[in-house]
A and B are shown apart, each in its own frame.
Chain A
């Protein structure tokens, strides 16, 4: 119950932040979407043994967290379930690749460990980058941006509705859960016999509700064909931002800055 409540709050809060972000908000959503996609492409193209390059890519995230005024710590807290899953997926690497390449103290470091860390970081960074995009850009803006990529209206509508539906669905879960608990206060979980009907009514009710929400949108003039027309062009400021971010990303990705800095220092 509390978890559901938190999930709803998190989504709404994301929405809220996206609408009330000051400086970063002025950057055109298309540019934000574009830079995020390029970041993820560059990130995933890194060879799985290049831990240092991967680490360097975190500079972009730090930068975004500063100008977008979002907290990396909170992001990691909110995403810990997904990140844990990534960790489990990456665990195969050290088992499969056991060549020792160096030692830290007496602990052997294998190629598998390096590749596990790299993959793990790549996953985390990619998720954080998309999370930051969502945090700083409202769903409508993301939809406008998608429209500028010439994605068909129907797909954009689906993206938007899934997002809205998620909240509707969680709220419905919460209601049913409360109603169930009020009448079965002594139980910890849900009795196995009740699962079927509970899930059944959950589906029916949330579909019903999603339908009324859509009706409410329609009654207030929502139509996919007219809604997703981007209202403003990408302005100079946003292009400038785009340009600098791209340069930064290329430097981070293709120039071994850490090595260069290391060499200079030595």
Chain B
């Protein structure tokens, strides 16, 4: 369970507030989309959840643990975070090594590490990439690999920041299927409202530092006026249906 209470935040050294009075609760097993224009603060919320930024006001609880320095290790073991930028996420020489990094760190035996790694690669369908050198992968392949690196942790909560940004239509489709097949709590930020439509039951819209809407995905994604006034557009699939 994730609970934000009256959370405000501004980046170090910046006078401008990035988030102001965010208040929401995500129950176990929910899949939630966070949408908003560029710079609205979507990535920032995600960073706060895993404690990459700790100087916030208010309270953030993950599974009844407050996000603060002393709880970080426990919290992070439960959350898998796929970065917006895969280049920063991957740092080992090969795909296999990178996917195995987390389980190794959590002290699993060699067989366990191998099992988890292979499983993660398989569930994304990139077994054939396992021995490839990271720097030779295409943007989309890197994205798939970075998703595998967190799946190997088997986290309770999965966080995706713009997951489909580098994926071609086929891999995007594949990703949506994977996402829908995964258990656990899922949070997805994206401009790809079709993705949100296909994967999330609930959607939070943020704009101008604040939460504008929190509720059923279908309701908000059909509300053209609300979306447009916040710099977003109806999902393509719904646009077609309207005509």
Contact = CB atoms under 8 A, between A and B. Distances in A.
Interface in A157-180: 164, 171
Interface string B147-191: 001100100000000000000000000000000000000000000
Interface residues of B, number: 29
A233 to B, nearest CB: 15
B87 A226 contact: no
Contact of A226 (B89, B107, B131): B107
Nearest to B150: A220
A16 B88 contact: no
Contacts, number: 61
A251 B49 CA distance: 61
Interface residues of A, number: 26
A95 to B, nearest CB: 45
Contacts of A209: 87-88
Given A220-B153, A221-B77, A15 B83 contact: no
Contact of B76 (A12, A171, A219): A219
Contacts of A213: 88, 91
B93 A216 contact: no
B153 A212 contact: no
B73 A223 contact: yes
Interface of A: 8-9, 12-13, 15-16, 18-20, 138, 164, 171, 209, 212-213, 215-223, 226-227
21 contacts: A8-B135, A12-B93, A15-B93, A16-B133, A19-B93, A138-B93, A164-B91, A209-B88, A212-B85, A213-B88, A215-B52, A216-B83, A216-B88, A216-B89, A217-B91, A217-B101, A219-B76, A219-B79, A221-B76, A222-B105, A223-B105
Which 9 pairs show the lowest CB-CB distances between chains A and B? Answer: A221-B105, A15-B93, A212-B88, A220-B102, A216-B89, A16-B93, A12-B135, A221-B106, A213-B91
